[in-house]
Amino acid sequence: EPEVTQTPSHQVTQMGQEVILRCVPISNHLYFYWYRQILGQKVEFLVSFYNNEISEKSEIFDDQFSVERPDGSNFTLKIRSTKLEDSAMYFCASRGDANTGELFFGEGSRLTVL
Amino acid sequence: GDSVTQMEGPVTLSEEAFLTINCTYTATGYPSLFWYVQYPGEGLQLLLKATKADDKGSNKGFEATYRKETTSFHLEKGSVQVSDSAVYFCALSKLTGGGNKLTFGTGTQLKVEL
């Protein structure tokens, strides 16, 4: 069964460092998403991506964040200068159909900022 | 803005007990409602969904009915198993520019013991 894969599963970094989280969405999907969950809090929408551009982003997704689909298969989330409050589980998701398709999630990447 | 509220966990039950996890929502318009499940070490998986009032979503013995009058989508199962131990997330979506962005609740951890 096709699945969304994410790497790394866990990353520990120092405050101020750049982090790139990688995702391989399901191959025929067109809509891509990043969500995050700070421990004990809600799963929050960060950004959606379609046709090689951001289609919507939340207030959380400030200038420190960026997304890219560099090669037609990977979908990356970059945090330029990590802060302690960026520590969270980051989930990638993809969807084939905008209106009715199920959102398929990866297993998540846990980011710990020290 | 749109929001989802679900009961705090963890919920601990004995095998074969009846399960209810409460979920209520606040949203304008006519959202679709979902339950996602996250088993240990895995990603978020769609468990069931309902797209309009009075619809009942069901899967793997779980059920939830879209109640517009009470803005609720409570998850129920008549007889839980140890293998149902997981975190359950209630969510809603509406069509947006990004194509059905999901708004999640905080998640409810279910532990089923023998």
B16 within 8 A of B100, measured Cβ to Cβ: no
Taking one residue from A and the other from B, the number of pairs with CB-CB distance under 8 angstroms is 66
Report the residue of chain B nearest A89, measured CA to CA.
Answer: B43
CB contact under 8 A, B106 and A95: no
Q: What is the pLDDT of residues A10-42, one digit of tens each?
A: 999 999 999 999 999 998 898 999 999 998 788
Is B113's pLDDT higher than 80?
A: yes
Contacts of A40 in chain B (CB under 8 A): 106
Long-range Cβ contact pairs of B63-70 (< 8 A, separation 24 or more): B64/B23, B64/B33, B64/B35, B66/B33, B70/B24
pLDDT at res. B3: 92
Q: What is the pLDDT of residues A70-82, one digit of tens each?
A: 887 899 999 999 9
Is B101's pLDDT higher than 90?
A: no
* pLDDT, greater one: B97 or B111: B111
Q: Any idea how long chain B is?
A: 114
Q: Average pLDDT over chain A, rounded to whole? A: 91
